[in-house]
């Protein structure tokens, strides 16, 4: 599991961590029962104050995305299919906020913006970060 923080983003670290946990759950890379790193361990890995990690975990627990078990690591809580779908749509919505703002600033009509989005959905997915097989 990979968590990282971007000091240049302007987004508080605890919110960056929360979004990454939500994204991992939405994509299925974290599933029900998966354990998260301890607060101290993750704070050391990320180089942040343990209270930052604790705050993120606390909010995610309040959202009922994580479950605390006394004396044991936090785990991902069981999600219904409906909850997982809502989470996926929320991740997409958050991702599209900047694009919708840019579209309005550029005075691009909703129909044209939707057309661009449809085109992108129909394109082959890019191979981000994947190297070509030389064989």
100-121 tens-digit pLDDT: 988 999 999 999 998 988 888 8
Q: Which token pair is 43?
A: 């704070």
pTM score, two decimals? 0.69
d(CA 55, CA 15): 9
pLDDT in tens, 13-43: 999 999 999 989 988 899 999 999 999 999 9
pLDDT averaged over every residue in the chain: 87
**33 touches 76 (CB < 8 A):** yes
């Amino acid at each position: 599991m990979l968590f990282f923080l971007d000091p240049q983003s302007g987004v508080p670290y605890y919110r960056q961590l929360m979004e990454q946990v939500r994204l991992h759950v939405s994509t299925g890379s974290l599933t029900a029962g998966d354990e998260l790193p301890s607060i101290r361990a993750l704070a050391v890995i990320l180089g942040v104050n343990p209270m930052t990690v604790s705050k993120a975990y606390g909010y995610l627990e309040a959202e009922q995305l994580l479950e605390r078990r006394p004396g044991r690591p936090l785990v991902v809580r069981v999600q219904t299919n409906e909850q997982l779908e809502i989470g996926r749509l929320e991740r997409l919505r958050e991702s599209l906020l900047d694009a919708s703002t840019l579209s309005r600033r550029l005075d691009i009509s909703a129909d044209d913006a939707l057309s661009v989005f449809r085109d992108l959905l129909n394109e082959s997915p890019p191979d981000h970060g994947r190297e070509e097989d030389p064989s």
